[in-house]
Amino acid sequence: MPVERNREEPAWMKVVERYIMRRAFVLFMSALAWTLAIVWTTQVLTRIDLVTDSGQSALTFFQVATLILPSIIPIVVPFALVVAVAQTLSTMNADSELAVISAAGGSRWIVARPILLLALGAAVFSFAVDNGVDPYARQRNRHLVAGANADLLSLVIQEG
């Protein structure tokens, strides 16, 4: 008669998964913030001519600069995720936490499950921004630039 094994994992494994998820998520958010700041700055500097050439206010420039973010987020999210996962697993390996999990009888899924859930969450976030927010931001950006060009033309072409 075969012995049935209990497939439910012990409670401490749930704690380890939450620990890995929290650690990777914090690193993901910080890597995302820094990479977004760097890429956003380079993209904003290419659009500074909107203010200097057309005489628009700083508020218009900041609106255009803010509307650039939704087009950058889907590009930056995968890089931030790779940095967060690599840093998390490297630190856990250096601190021998992965060896302890393995020695305690934990499967590889204990480490992989939080990483995969984080990747799934990042993919859903990226998809939502790319298909929900970005089209509106691009349309609003086109209207702002068209308004700035119209203001420039009305400034240059005056009566008399």
pLDDT at residue 5, rounded to an integer: 52
Distance CA 20, CA 26 (A): 10
Q: Give percent of the chain with pLDDT exceeding 90.
A: 48
- 67: part of which helix (H) or strand (E)? helix 58-94
Of 45-49, 51-55, 112-116, 153-157, least confident by mean pLDDT is: 153-157
pLDDT at residue 137, rounded to an integer: 84
Q: DSSP letter at 129? A: I
pLDDT at residue 54, rounded to an integer: 57
pLDDT at residue 3, rounded to an integer: 53
More confident residue, 158 or 65: 65
pLDDT value at 81 more than 90: yes
pLDDT at residue 153, rounded to an integer: 46
- 1: part of which helix (H) or strand (E)? none
pLDDT at residue 85, rounded to an integer: 96
